[in-house]
Amino acid sequence: MPVPLRFVVLKGVQGFGDRLQCLLQAIRYAEISRRHLVIDWRDSDWTHTPEQPLHTFFNLKEIGTYGLHEFQIYWQAHADQLSVFPACWAPVLTEANYTSWIYKEIFHLPDNNAILADICAYKTADFDADIVVYPGVGKRTFSYSDLNKLELSNWVKSRIQNFTQANGLTPGNYDIVHLRGGSKSWCGGHVPLKSLNTSIHERWPDQAAYLDDLWQTYEKSIAQLPSLPLVLLSDQTALAEAWQDRFSCGQSLPNAAGNLIRESGIHKLSAEDLQKHPQAISKEELTLESLRDFVVMLHARKVISDGISLFSRMAERCGAAGVRLMELSDPSDTPQG
């Protein structure tokens, strides 16, 4: 009998920053364990079309991967011959509604998934199971530079390139302030973790306190640097406009959702929410915008954020590690015909 293939299946949840951290952990584990990486991001935070393949947006390079659809076919053909860990995932391995189980401890790897870091550091042996399921929650350890193994799809790169050129954004020639309303109740957001919610609102009891704090951080960070254009990124158009009114600076980048928000961010908007929008925007467009904004931050000279948003924190640190995901053309370099 042929030796079965070995896999790690990543089940993703939450916003782009959270799922990106877990993806980086899964990339390193797949590389060390020589397993094929399968990414299952069919949750509604990522897509409203579960059958849409992930390679619509990006692929991975330099490591072994299997598309989710191809993996499902392999599992259906060989399920009776393959072992799964944690074993409780086996009956529901290919179910799309995995968020029903992902937060339950029995579905986690040992030590709230931290064992993956020990395996990657050669402190403990890999699992014997043919298929290891990594639920994208809990502890994770990763290297920012592993994001260089992600390659954006051509259409995504083309859209981002057109956007940056239209907005005059050239690599290293602008700074960014990221204003996140999704974690602030006074901006219509919500954080489910009570302790974090309390600490956020004790630090920034209102919009003015929030804006003033980030303004001071921004001024301090550029004090000894040449002046560059300031770009504002926000999940709430009104928050960016409040910054412009208060400090009379900053170019606000467009956001398709405008001031539409649910729970902790734009990623929580349902299909029904989007259909009620005047332009009836699609989830695919919001996902593209997330990738676009992430790339824009990777190419900034400075990224200023409140330290709460994993989205901007990941962009800042990946950028510092030399990750760019794609090259951005300088509009001034375009040949004139």
In this prediction, residue 255 carries a pLDDT of 87
Please check whether residue 24 lies inside any domain of the structure: yes
Q: What is the CATH number of the domain that holds 118?
A: 3.40.50
- In degrees to the nearest 10, what's the CA dihedral of 321, 322, 323, 324? 150
Q: Are residues 180 and 124 located together in one domain of the fold? A: no
Give the distance, in angstroms, between the CA of residue 32 and the centroid of all CA atoms in the same chain. 23
Among the listed ranges 8-17, 150-159, 220-229, 249-258, which one has the minimum average pLDDT value? 249-258
Q: Are residues 164 and 90 located together in one domain of the fold? A: no
Per-residue pLDDT, averaged over 125-140, amounts to 96
In this prediction, residue 4 carries a pLDDT of 80
Final residue before a domain boundary, out of 126, 145, 164: 145
The percent of residues in the chain predicted with pLDDT above 70, rounded, is: 97
> Which of 133-142, 192-201, 256-265: highest mean pLDDT?
133-142
SS (H, E, C) the chain: CCCCCCEEEEECCCCHHHHHHHHHHHHHHHHHHCCEEEEECCCCCCCCCCCCCHHHCEEECCCCECCHHHHHHHHHHHHHHCCEECHHHHHHCCCCCHHHCCCCHHHCCCCCCCHHHHHHCCCCCCCCCCEEEEECCCCCCCCHHHHHHEEECHHHHHHHHHHHHHCCCCCCCCEEEEECCCCCHHHCCCCCCHHHHHHHHHHCCCHHHHHHHHHHHHHHHCCCCCCCCEEEEECCHHHHHHHHHHHCCCEECCCCCCCCCECCEHHHCCHHHHHHCCCCCCHHHHHHHHHHHHHHHHCCCEEECCCCCHHHHHHHHHHHCCCCCCCCCCHHHCCCC
Q: Are residues 227 and 247 located together in one domain of the fold? A: yes
Per-residue pLDDT, averaged over 281-306, amounts to 95
Q: How many domains does the chain have?
A: 2
113 contacts 139 by C-beta, under 8 angstroms:
yes
Per-residue pLDDT, averaged over 205-220, amounts to 96
Q: What range does the domain containing 134 cover?
A: 7-145
Q: How far apart are CA 249 and CA 191, in angstroms?
A: 29
Q: Are residues 176 and 53 located together in one domain of the fold? A: no
Q: Are residues 79 and 183 located together in one domain of the fold? A: no
Final residue before a domain boundary, out of 127, 145, 163: 145
Q: Are residues 194 and 65 located together in one domain of the fold? A: no
In this prediction, residue 193 carries a pLDDT of 78
Q: What is the CATH number of the domain that holds 214?
A: 3.40.50.11350
Condensed to tens digits (0 to 9), the pLDDT of residues 7-25 reads 999 999 999 999 999 999 9
Please check whether residue 29 lies inside any domain of the structure: yes
Q: Are residues 139 and 29 located together in one domain of the fold? A: yes
Q: Are residues 193 and 234 located together in one domain of the fold? A: yes
Condensed to tens digits (0 to 9), the pLDDT of residues 84-118 reads 999 999 999 999 999 999 999 999 999 999 999 99
Please check whether residue 165 lies inside any domain of the structure: yes
Condensed to tens digits (0 to 9), the pLDDT of residues 295-335 reads 999 999 999 999 988 999 999 999 999 999 999 976 555 54
Q: Are residues 158 and 80 located together in one domain of the fold? A: no
Final residue before a domain boundary, out of 145, 163, 185: 145
Q: Are residues 158 and 140 located together in one domain of the fold? A: no
| Residue 290 predicted with pLDDT over 70 | yes
Per-residue pLDDT, averaged over 31-39, amounts to 97
